[in-house]
Structure 1
Amino acid sequence: MNAYDPSAENPVAHAVVGMDGVLHSADPALIALNQRAGGDLGRALAVPQLATITRLARRLGIIVSRGVVVADDDADIDLWVRAQPEGDTIRLAVSGWREVQPWQPIGPASDARATFLASDADWRWDTDASLCLTFVSLEAGPRYGFDAIALLGQPLTQMFALEAGDDGALPMLDALARRRAMTGQPARLRGSGRPVMLSAEVRHDRTGAFAGFVGAARMVEAEVTPAPVEAPLSTTFTSGLDRALRAPLARIVANADSINAQADGPVQPDYADYAADIASAGRHLLELVNDLVDLQAVERPDFTLAVERIDLADVTRRAAGLLSVRAGNAGVTIARPALGELSWALGDFRRVLQILVNLIGNAVRYSPPGSQVTAVVERGARDVSVVVTDQGKGIAPEDQVRIFEKFERVDPSEAGGNGLGLYIARRLARAMQGDLTVESAPGQGARFVLTLPADAPRGEDQR
């Protein structure tokens, strides 16, 4: 291994990375490490851990310091990385450079892993604990139509679109929840849409904690093994996931928020930042658990909602109010129906509120600072609509159908949801005899329309 020598006169290696992730300059040790990862000067930083910290510093606009372990040839290197935004660049300082024993499975898992890697897989992939790719077989890229280097550090779903199995469950989510090996996860390659079957063994770090997956992919001939038929998620799976994750995640979020707020006394700024990251990730997982429970419900053949008479203008005002703090933090204003405005419709109050929180929340997320999100109610002859409009980057016509499908997002690399919100929202709207549609164009924002059956005004409501 040609790692940086910590006994050298200067034990810290420096690099300059552009806001686009391109490595502008670096000390020899970092150049060599980056080249062994498949990168070079003038190209995107190829070491996934360094690239992740660089993106975090760029997004937050603050100094980010992290300890990381980087795979390098036949050994691992324990590094301390400091990323500091400076104008239109990020300056990296990398120290430590301590060689550590690379990860190896312990005990009986060794034989299982050897058998797994000797299987008839077409190529290999590995992830870290957050399911970001840390290894992809380089030789598979040209053959199957993807850029293996560009995928490093990206979420696993940037390479694969996961699909439900024959029982309606997602083996990947079950393996992640139970921290066990995964087999038979159907998926499709992003871009080409070719079917593939995924398997993986769990990897653990030196403390025994979950550290990601060691995975394999096997191409599936469509004419021999057709794509699995969509089926509802099993009740057993979602209820088990709900029980197993909701309470622990809630405790993690609460404790991380307490550390970040320094409720029990001052802590180092870096640790406060780590706690904020942990709380954010915990909330994301809680949203996923909630969405999976909703997904199981809306896909049942007998799913129905208790429709009642609701004031759609009032529900819209409530949804906007719930998101006012988030909008204020983002520098976005929300225009909502005026107090006293009434617009009666037929629907389930809680589910309509859920849909509108999703729509307005998405609009706030994708709106630039200083812009306005509008949520207005429009009444037709037989229906009532809530129109949520933003001034974001818009949605291309080819993506306007895809965003209402399961686990689909316009840009999976962006921070945001899990690709279930709009799918569930449309299913809920249609269960109330309404609909959810979108009108948009690139660069012109988006206009989502929730439509519900109108309820005739009663005497006391006419004003």
Structure 2
Amino acid sequence: MVIADRIIRGRIDRSGALVSADAPLARLQQRAGGGLGKPLALPQLARLVALAQRLHRDISRPLYAADDHSDIHAVVRIVPDADGASLEISDWRPRPVVPPQMPVLPEMPAHGWTWECDQQLRMVALRAATGAPPLPADWEGRSLSELFELQPDPDGRFPVLRALARQSRFDRQRVEAGEAGVRVAMLLSGDAMFDAIGNFTGFRGSATPADPGEAGDPAPEAVLVDPAFGSLPLSDPQFGRRIDGALRGPLSRIIATAETISGQFDGPIRADYARYAGDIAHAGRHLLGLVDDLADLQNIERPGFKAAADEIDLGDLARRAVGLLGMKAEEKGIRIDAPRTDDKAPATGEFRRVLQVLLNLLGNAIRYSPDNSQIWIRVDRDGDRAMVTVADQGQGIDADQQAVVFEKFERLGRTDSGGSGLGLYIARRLARAMDGDLTVDSAPGQGARFTMSLPARDVG
């Protein structure tokens, strides 16, 4: 019986025992030799529960199990808590057991692999030729994108993702495969498969080791002279311009392709595939932001760098920053208390650079503030200084961290992908280049207040 249209629930206690379960899960536990009140008898599910509890966060993963009559393919979400974990299993699809046999695979490539995956990109077959790189351990049931680390082609596209959207053949998808320390660059090709009534059932294909030139690696003993960069040192201003040009185009194409797939403009695809493409687009935008930061970094550290002296209003620029990032704040339920239209702080500074600093400060405040909190932006004047302050209700910054928060690549111990660690360094350098400054006032548990000051401008 297919029960893919409802959620199957279960509950694990702190000892790892299944204490409650809907009927399908309870039957599977019983057929695996367990029962209610006993430890999970499904090894993969038990490992996923342990992983979620160790990470202290929700995880969602494919689930593969078997009873006496069928193989079970499903997706499980595990929500750990202090008393154990809750299970939510969806897309539960039993498949009749057939006599064991190796699927019909393409002709074995020399020194390569043949493989097959189902319509959810889960590996169901993998074989290696004599002399090929060793097969990864526990490949059965793993996602194709987990087993093979996808790399963009020279145009910044992912052939396998486009083929998935179109349910068609793909060629020369660059990947890396293997276990840690034994990674191999390979080229992946595959044909789309369909059942007797035309439903897409997955891909079948081959993986062959890539030649050094195709993998992007320099030949042994060769001197790497990239035509885009030549032998320019990092300090040469042309290096920044060339790296910006060499990376921006491919990254933009990666983002555009991933967003096309995520938006399903080439045709409808599964929601989880769309999320994968969305993750790729998000990572691409992060890398593009890093390219921007590196370009800014080299620019502001160039001898003689000077910002323009525009006539600006810090209140107006603060409201512009809120307009640009307001949607991002709403996604977290954060309310921004912006300066009123009659709150003015005339100052002298470069318009786009001041806006850049404010976007960095407000973006950080949104990123590191708790959901449903509040951010304040205030403008003021103190003598010959015009000031704008961004204050949040985040975790705050202790005295030791305040001493290094404006240093290069300092992210206060954070390991997420939220930033490059250059934003505040660049922001302070820009403020000082405009005869101003950027300071922080904070304490653990009391949020953070970043204040940019600039030369005030008298308005007659």
- Residue by residue over 1:339-380, the C-alpha shift from the partner in whole angstroms, topping out at 9 and shown as x without a partner, is 133211110000000000000011011111221111110111
Q: Which runs of 5+ in 2 are unaligned?
A: 1-9, 15-38, 65-72, 90-121, 134-147, 152-174, 176-180, 189-209, 218-232
Q: What is the alpha-carbon distance in structure 1 between the residues aligned to residue 419 and residue 132 of structure 2?
A: 33
Aligned to 1:85: 78
> What is the alpha-carbon distance in structure 2 between the residues aligned to residue 96 and residue 254 of structure 1?
28
Query: SS state of the match for residue 451, structure 2?
Result: strand
Q: Secondary structure at the match of 2:430?
A: helix
> Cα deviations across residues 117-155 of structure 1 (Å, max 9, x unaligned)?
xxxxxxxxxxx9699xxxxxxxxxxxxxxxxxxxxxxxx
The answer to whether residue 224 in structure 2 is matched with residue 204 in structure 1 is: no
**Alignment partner for residue 414 of structure 2, among 395, 412, 415?**
412
Q: Distance in 2 between matches of 1:211 and 1:86?
A: 41
Q: CA deviation at 1:85?
A: 3.3
Alpha-carbon RMSD across the aligned residues, in angstroms, is 4.2
Q: TM-score, normalised by structure 1?
A: 0.56
Letter in 2 for 1:333: R
Whether contact under 8 Å (2:344, 2:379) holds in the other structure is no
Unaligned residue ranges in structure 1 (runs of 5+) = 1-13, 19-24, 35-39, 46-50, 68-79, 107-127, 132-178, 180-199, 213-230
Tell me the amino acid that sits aligned with residue 410 of structure 2: E
Work out the percentage of aligned pairs sharing the same amino acid. 43
Q: Deviations over 1:289-320 (max 9, x none)?
A: 00000000011121111112111111111011
Q: What amino acid is aligned across from residue 204 of structure 1 in structure 2?
A: A
* CA distance in structure 2 between the aligned counterparts of 1:240 and 1:295, rounded to whole angstroms: 14
- Distance in structure 2 (CA, Å) of the matches to 1:26 and 1:205: 38
Deviation at 1:412, TM superposition (A): 2.6
Which structure 2 residues correspond to residues 105-184 of structure 1 after superposition, within 5 A?
A: none
| Distance change (3 Å), C-alpha of 1:312 and 1:31 | closer
What pairs with 1:19-418 in structure 2 (closer than 5 Å)? 58=59, 63=60, 65=62, 82-86=75-79, 88=81, 89=85, 204-207=185-188, 208=210, 233-418=235-420
Contact 1:407/1:418 (8 A) holds in 2? yes
Name the structure 2 match of 1:125.
Answer: none
TM-score w.r.t. the length of structure 2 is 0.57
Amino acid at match of 1:316: A
- Classify 1:66/1:33 alpha carbon distance in 2 versus 1 (closer, same or farther; 3 Å): closer
Q: Do the aligned partners of residues 129 and 15 (structure 1) sit closer, same or farther apart at CA in structure 2, a change above 3 Å counting?
A: farther
> Which residue identity does 2:292 align to in structure 1?
N
CA displacement at 1:240 relative to structure 2? 2.1
State the Cα distance separating 1:237 from its structure 2 match. Answer: 2.9
Matched residue count:
304
**1:166-206: per-residue Cα shift (whole Å, max 9, x none)?**
xxxxxxxxxxxxx9xxxxxxxxxxxxxxxxxxxx9985245
Q: Does structure 2 conserve the Cα–Cα contact (< 8 Å) formed by 1:259 and 1:272?
A: yes
Residue 345 of structure 2 contacts residue 387 of structure 2 at CA under 8 Å; is this kept in 1? no
Distance 2:183 2:308 in 1: 43
SS at structure 2 position matched to 1:239: helix
* 3-state secondary structure, aligned to 2:405: helix
Conserved 8 A contact 1:403-1:410: yes
- 8 A Cα contact 1:232 1:300, kept in partner: no
